[in-house]
Amino acid sequence: MQMNTPPRSAIRLTRRGRLVLIAIGAVAAGTAVAVPLLSMDSSEENRPTALVIPEGRRASQVYEAVDKALALPPGTTRKSLPKAGLKLPADAEGNPEGYLFPATYPLDGEPTPQALLARMVDTANRKFNGAPVAAGAQRNAMNVYQAVTVASIVQAEAATEADMGKVARVVFNRLERGMPLQMDSTVNYALNRSTLRTSTADTRIDSPYNSYQRMGLPPTPIGNPGEEAVRAAITPTPGDWLYFVTVKPGDTRFTASYEEHQRNITEFNRIQQSAQTSASPSKAR
């Protein structure tokens, strides 16, 4: 039966804005996006000279990258957190997620995990604690920590930098209307994975990061956003959008109409089916 209004349980905004209509069985699941590894610049002797943290990486990934860069046993950097003396906001309650700022960090001298983490947090504080971010957060009835949380969702969901402001607007529009965010990126964070395929069972997990079951923002950022995502979070693009879907690369469609969104999903599914058919090997004759 065609639905005229979207039941809350039937709408799922997935990572990169793809959506699944559970109730009518129209699954719009894209192919997995390759996630670049945290990379290290190295010298001719193959000794790392700098650690590169790309935008959107989770704290757990940053810890692993630091361990690898410093040739430390796995888990060493995570265990060093209590001794790092990180200058985090009170809302973070000691969790640096969102404040391990993505950038290139030189590995001069004999760096320690504590020193590297402190440098990342100090960089984040310089970026986030200035007047523009604080004022932008206040304009949107948030504090800076909440703005960073929104930015982390934007970083995970937006297909391109050009879409970031619109994705941020979808987040705010849903919050203002008392709608659950229903973002797969938050569920993926709870499950410690990165995927475009989220099952109905996944959306029922008991977690404060399950934005299908819990209203409002997740309790912490779900990754470490870059400057563009933070800018989008404090200056979202004006619009009334509630839904978005990446029909194909470079074509993300935002709408306030559930019916229009369904049509976009139908087109997305058609393109995916066509791509799968084209990729199927032909039978030998």
Count Cβ neighbours within 10 Å for each residue of 60-90 and write b for 16 or more, e otherwise. Answer: ebbbbbbbbbbeeeeeebbebbeebebebbe
Residue (of 111, 87, 112) closest to 101 by Cα position? 87
Instruction: Name the token pair of 27.
Output: 């699954």
pLDDT band at 34 (very low <50, low <70, confident <90, very high): very low
Give the pTM.
0.81
What is the distance, to the nearest Å, from the Cα of residue 240 to the centroid of all Cα atoms in its chain?
22
In terms of Cβ atoms closer than 10 Å to its own Cβ (0-12, 13-18, 19+), residue 165 is: buried
Q: What is the pLDDT of residue 184?
A: 86
Over residues 9-23, mean pLDDT: 38
Phi and psi at residue 192, to the nearest 5°: 55, 55
Residue where the block lists tokens 């719009």: 28
pLDDT band at 27 (very low <50, low <70, confident <90, very high): very low
Instruction: Name the token pair of 11.
Output: 């709408």
CA 154, 12, 246, 62 torsion: positive or negative? positive
Condensed to tens digits (0 to 9), the pLDDT of residues 164-198 reads 999 999 999 999 999 999 998 999 999 998 876 67
Residue 7 clears pLDDT 50, i.e. is over it: no
Q: What is the largest CA-CA distance in the chain?
A: 69
Condensed to tens digits (0 to 9), the pLDDT of residues 215-262 reads 999 999 999 999 999 999 999 999 999 998 888 888 999 999 999 989
Q: What is the pLDDT of residue 279?
A: 66
Residue 30 clears pLDDT 50, i.e. is over it: no
Condensed to tens digits (0 to 9), the pLDDT of residues 66-105 reads 999 999 999 999 999 999 999 999 999 999 999 999 999 9
CA 205, 206, 210, 211 torsion: positive or negative? positive
Residue 285 clears pLDDT 90, i.e. is over it: no
Instruction: Name the token pair of 66.
Output: 């630091």
For residues 63 and 15, what is the distance between their CA atoms, to the nearest angstrom? 23
Q: What is the pLDDT of residue 176?
A: 96
Instruction: Cite the beta strand spans of the chain per DSSP E.
Output: 11-13, 19-21, 39-42, 48-52, 104-106, 243-248, 251-255
User: 3-state DSSP call for residue 105?
Assistant: strand
Of 4-13, 148-157, 239-248, the one with minimum mean pLDDT is 4-13
Condensed to tens digits (0 to 9), the pLDDT of residues 101-141 reads 999 999 988 899 999 999 999 999 999 998 899 999 999 99
Are 102 and 56 contacting, i.e. CB atoms less than 8 angstroms apart? yes
Instruction: Name the token pair of 210.
Output: 């399950």
Phi and psi at residue 245, to the nearest 5°: -150, 135
> How high does pLDDT run on average in the chain?
84
Q: What is the pLDDT of residue 271?
A: 87
